[in-house]
Structure 1
Amino acid sequence: MLFEQIQTACINDADVPWVPFTPYSEHVLVKYFKLDPVRGETIALLKAPARGQMPRHRHTGTVIVYTVEGRWKYREHAWIAEKGSIVYETAGSSHTPEAVPVVDGSDEIVTLNIIQGELLFVNENGQILAAEDWRSGWERYAAYCRAHGLKTRDLTAFG
């Protein structure tokens, strides 16, 4: 049976680099673990300063965000995501991420993101300014590795 031949794999944190989320920010970093061209899925850690805001965006697929460190929210919602919380975003949802100051003085937010489909950056009128997906993630990761003399891993497949 085919499913019995599917390999289970592990990618350790130290095996992949933090990559600047360019051209959007040099201060926001992303660590890609999986870039799946079949399902259109990206699994990555995101690290951002604990102050500021990311651009408004819309999702074409579902997104699950687990907060590893820090506090953040969407300007359009009343809740605050803290360490250990999970945010589930439905396809078609649109929002503006913002950092929320932490009392303990933590200077960054780290989230684990499981993103299906595209992340569309939009302006205040909802017009698309830029699009991110597994392919742009691969291009960013591969370019960073080339520029820093690092060997790329095939993040498009586990095993």
Structure 2
Amino acid sequence: MTTPNQVFEHHELLYVNSKNQPVYEDAMPGVPGIDVQPLFLDPHNGVWVLKVWFHPGVTLPRHYHTGTVHLFTISGHWEYKEYPNDPQTDGCYLYEPGGSIHQFTTPATNTGPTETLMVVHGANVNFDDDGNYLGIMDASDIMIMLDNLIRERGLEPANYITPPQPDHNARVRNVK
């Protein structure tokens, strides 16, 4: 058996230990009660991985997903307003296909924050209750949001994985 050829050199593991990383409280402008810990933000491929704590009574804007979402509920309880009979509690894993539309909420009766881990591909396109466009949230927006939050509050910088920007000046690779 032969060893596979390595296309890119890889000299170190890329990882963060969430136990040693800051959590940014009330991180989302306009929606209090959301604490965020970024783990991976890739604006070039549109992927974001976050640990998020939703406090009791949080309701996100209704949103449309341009890509898939994997959402793990570590602790607590949340649900989509459209699916009240399918509450998500600790241990639940939810897959959302691209093109899905829903509104996330944590019941005000929750006794503590709901902890989640999400892997999102693409963007959330957000709408108000009347269906009017509010804005978009993707990996780039999250990076800017965190940078502004850190600067405005004088917080410890975020430490998350982000792939390098593609080199658009690179030559085309011709293999013969």
Query: Shorter-chain TM-score: what band?
Result: 0.7 to 0.9
1:47 corresponds to which residue? 53
Q: Which amino acid aligns with 2:104?
A: P
User: In structure 2, how many angstroms separate the alpha carbons of the residues matched to 1:18 and 1:35?
Assistant: 15
**Number of residue pairs matched by the alignment:** 156
2:174 corresponds to which residue? none
1:27 corresponds to which residue? 33
1:16 corresponds to which residue? 21
1:114-133 matches, within 5 Å, as: 114-133=119-138
User: In structure 2, how many angstroms separate the alpha carbons of the residues matched to 1:108 and 1:144?
Assistant: 21
TM-score normalised per structure 2 = 0.77
In the alignment, structure 2 segments of 5+ residues that lack a partner are 1-5, 165-176
Of 8-17 and 29-38, deviating more is: 8-17
**1:81 CA displacement:** 0.6
User: In structure 1, how many angstroms separate the alpha carbons of the residues matched to 2:30 and 2:64?
Assistant: 15
Cα-to-partner distance string for 1:10-67 (whole Å, 9 max, x where unaligned): 2011443222333132321111110012321000011111224221111100001100
Distance 1:97 1:154, change over 3 A: closer
Indicate if the aligned counterparts of 1:50 and 1:70 stay in contact, CA closer than 8 A.
Answer: no
Q: Which amino acid aligns with 1:43?
A: V
Structure possessing the higher radius of gyration over alpha carbons = 2
Distance 1:120 1:2, change over 3 A: same
In the alignment, structure 1 segments of 5+ residues that lack a partner are none
User: In structure 1, how many angstroms separate the alpha carbons of the residues matched to 2:104 and 2:160?
Assistant: 30
